[in-house]
Amino acid sequence: MTPATFTAVQIEGLSKRFGSTVALENVTLGIATGELFGFIGPDGAGKTTLFRILVTLILPDAGRATVLGRDVTTQIWELRRRVGYMPGRFSLYPDLSVEENLRFFASVFGASVKEQYDLIAPIYDQLAPFKDRRAGALSGGMKQKLALCCALVHRPEILFLDEPTTGVDAVSRREFWELLDRLKASGLTIVVSTPYMDEADRCGRVALIQRGRLLAVDAPARIAASFGRPLFTIRAAERYPLLLAARAYPNAATVFPFGDVLHYTDRRDAMAPEAIARELADHLRGHGLTDVEVESTAPTIEDTFMARMGEPERAA
């Protein structure tokens, strides 16, 4: 895509510090209208800072950004009406009911719930049985759905969702992404952040972000494929001894637990994968892991993230 097609969000050289902490460092990126775009990274990567700049709540130290063609530092009031924002921390009024919260957020933007009902109906219908309940007394999944309704009720042209699925169980997360798919189908541009790497595949394109820097920006499958070296799974019943034995193999480059297997890369770049697998399996059998299986596997986005993030941050 050429920069001109990134009509929804354009970010150029954006930087932000808080004291000695670098929250964002020279971030450049574009998002096209109608995209479902994800920022994937752990806590402290800079996702929230970036979202707060894009929704005009804080100012960058350097660089510029436009959302819907409007500058996020100078065209604040024009933008705020057009942008929907769901912050990471639950920020509705806990003492107001479900229905009161929704009416309040609509009225702030001069909208009425009735006029906008078609947009929020698929979500609000699930909340309707609890419409008189205090928002503070809702379950986590329900709070999240109400927050999404409140972010949508003024019919924004672009939606920013900051970690909407953090701390939410795997099933509720899945349901939330299905809602986002439906909203995307209505033409809305959606920008979402998440620390869960497995959610990247739900997005059309993603940016991997770590310590204020973008590690990659592309379609999830292309980022996974960019891993660029042979990757193996190792499986054995005795998992912890397997991990220690694989780490002790002199040719091991990386060894990480991945679900019920280990992911392994080898230092010998020029060697055929079949030969690596065979030698590694022999080595592990020699350590008493007689049931070991080594196979080539396709990298996931988490493999790429780990390969590109470098060493985890030092303690001090």
Partner 1 sequence: MTAAPNATAIEAHELTRRFGSFTAVDQITFDVAAGEVFGFLGANGAGKTTAIRILTGLLSPSSGTARVAGHDVYTESEAIKRRIGYMSQKFSLYEDLTIRENIRLYGGIYDLSKDELRDRTERMLARLGLEQSAGTQVRSLPLGWRQKLAFSVALLHEPSIVFLDEPTSGVDPITRRQFWELIYEAAARGTTVFVTTHYMDEAEYCDRISIMVAGRIGALGTPAELRQRFGVESMDELFVRLARPTASAAS
Task: Please report how close the Cβ of residue 163 comes to partner 1 at its closest, in angstroms.
Answer: 8
Number of residues that bind partner 1 (CB under 8 A): 41
Min separation Cβ 155 and partner 1, Å: 27
Q: Cβ 9 to partner 1, closest distance in Å?
A: 24
Stretch that binds partner 1, among 51-59, 101-109, 134-142, 222-230 (CB under 8 A): 134-142
In the bound complex, what is the minimum distance in angstroms from residue 98's beta carbon to partner 1?
Answer: 17
Within residues 22-81, the interface with partner 1 by CB under 8 A covers 41-45
- Provide the Cα torsion 292, 304, 160, 142; round to 10°: 10
First-residue to last-residue Cα distance in the chain: 41
Instruction: Please pick, from the candidates 61, 115, 169, 274, the single residue that binds partner 1 as defined by CB under 8 A.
Output: 169
Residue 137 region, left (φ>0) first, then alpha (ψ -120 to 50), else beta? alpha
CB 197, CB 108: distance < 8 Å: no
| Contact (Cβ atoms closer than 8 angstroms) between residue 173 and residue 165 | yes
Binding of partner 1 at residue 290 (CB under 8 A)?
A: no
Q: Give the span between the Cα atoms of 262 and 289, in whole angstroms.
A: 14
Q: Residue 104 or 256: which CB sits closer to partner 1?
A: 256
Interface with partner 1 includes 269 (CB under 8 A)? no
Give the shortest CB-64-to-partner 1 separation in angstroms.
29
Query: Is 134 an interacting residue with respect to partner 1 (CB under 8 A)?
Result: no
> Residue 239 interacts with partner 1 (CB under 8 A)?
yes
Query: Which one among 15, 28, 33, 166 touches partner 1, defined by CB under 8 A?
Result: 166
| 315 is a site residue for partner 1 (CB under 8 A) | yes
Burial class (CB in 10 A: 0-12, 13-18, 19+), 312: exposed
Q: Would strands 261-266 and 231-235 be described as parallel, antiparallel, or unpaired?
A: antiparallel
**Residue 257 near partner 1 by CB under 8 A:** yes
Q: Is 305 in the site for partner 1 (CB under 8 A)?
A: yes
Residue of 243, 279, 287, 297 that binds partner 1 (CB under 8 A): 243
Which residues within the stretch 78-107 sit at the binding site for partner 1 (CB under 8 A)?
Answer: none
What would you measure as the largest C-alpha separation in the chain, in angstroms?
Answer: 72
Considering the rule CB under 8 A, would residue 258 count as an interface residue with partner 1? Answer: yes
Rule CB under 8 A: say whether 201 interacts with partner 1.
Answer: no
**With CB under 8 A as the contact rule, which of the stretches 100-108, 221-229, 236-244, 275-283 interacts with partner 1?**
236-244
Nearest by Cα to 273 from 255, 252, 296, 251: 296
Written as six digits, the tokens of 237 are 């019943």
Helix, coil or strand: residue 169? coil
Backbone angles phi, psi at 144, to 5 degrees: -65, -40
Does an H or E element contain 108, and which? helix 98-108
Q: Which of residues 41 and 156 has its CB atom nearest to partner 1 in the complex? A: 41
Single out the residue of 54, 37, 2 nearest to residue 203, CA to CA: 37
* Residues 163, 85 contacting (CB under 8 angstroms): no
Q: What six digits make up the tokens of 153?
A: 């009720």
**Sites of contact with partner 1 (CB under 8 A):** 41-45, 139-141, 166-175, 178, 195-198, 210, 237, 239-240, 243, 256-260, 302, 305-306, 309, 312-313, 315-316
